[in-house]
Chains A and B, each alone.
Chain A
Amino acid sequence: DAGVIQSPRHEVTEMGQEVTLRCKPISGHDYLFWYRQTMMRGLELLIYFNNNVPIDDSGMPEDRFSAKMPNASFSTLKIQPSEPRDSAVYFCASSFTLTSGEQYFGPGTRLTVT
């Protein structure tokens, strides 16, 4: 398996622009997670899905952030409009179950908003 795939790997955009991050989870994994990593706040869970349904989005910082999972093999995280404080590395992770606890992370998207 190719593992969790994320695109783009790097994104530089100007404040106010829309940004879309993409994720393909490992085939057969029922859970998908979006995380944000910054020096100041560490690794934060933004939202997670089970069988394509959002279960907990309490970590989404504000309404500018939205996430969708239209099918089992694809998810997007969208920021509209983007702000400089959104600059971070965004990780997607997937897991087969929740009870085992292990998550498999993608390589991340480094977002820079100028």
Chain B
Amino acid sequence: AQSVAQPEDQVNVAEGNPLTVKCTYSVSGNPYLFWYVQYPNRGLQFLLKYITGDNLVKGSYGFEAEFNKSQTSFHLKKPSALVSDSALYFCAVRSKGGSYIPTFGRGTSLIVHP
């Protein structure tokens, strides 16, 4: 079985400050990991993914995520938050050798204050 935990329902950060949205996972074997963003009244949009290689993955809109195998984590980061980054963020995981269908976390609401 595969699962994802996003331990924070909400993250608050001031504009210009660095942000981190946390994600931990459980999967058999090696993982494929994903981050998606959902703006109000919109569908989920793909941000970035980790499949193999460099543990630091860069994605859209200046976001990056760091894969940590020992801690089974894939935290989303951005050096300087923008008010427009306020949205719902979803982490997803699937096993490389198992189900091709990713499991999504419950989502974390990011609020960036001016």
Contacts and interface: CB of A to CB of B under 8 A. Distances in A.
Nearest to B94: A101
B104 to A, nearest CB: 5
A93 B45 CA distance: 10
A48 B101 contact: yes
A91 interface: yes
The size class of the interface chain A forms with chain B is 10 to 19
Interface string A80-114: 00000000000101000011111111111000000
B46 A102 contact: yes
B105 A93 contact: no
A56 interface: yes
A107 B42 CA distance: 5
A48 B99 CA distance: 13
Interface in B24-57: 32, 34, 36, 41-46, 49, 51
Nearest to B96: A99
B106 interface: yes
A102 B107 CA distance: 17
A43 B90 contact: yes
Contacts, number: 46
A98 B101 contact: yes
B100 interface: yes
A45 B106 contact: no
Interface in A31-83: 42-43, 45, 48, 56
Contact of A101 (B41, B42, B45, B102): B102
Nearest to A33: B101
Contacts of A26: none
Given A42-B106, A45-B101, A101-B34, A106 B90 contact: no
Given A42-B105, A42-B107, A99 B45 contact: no
B107 A98 contact: no
Contacts of A45: 101
Contacts of B43: 4, 91, 93, 105-108
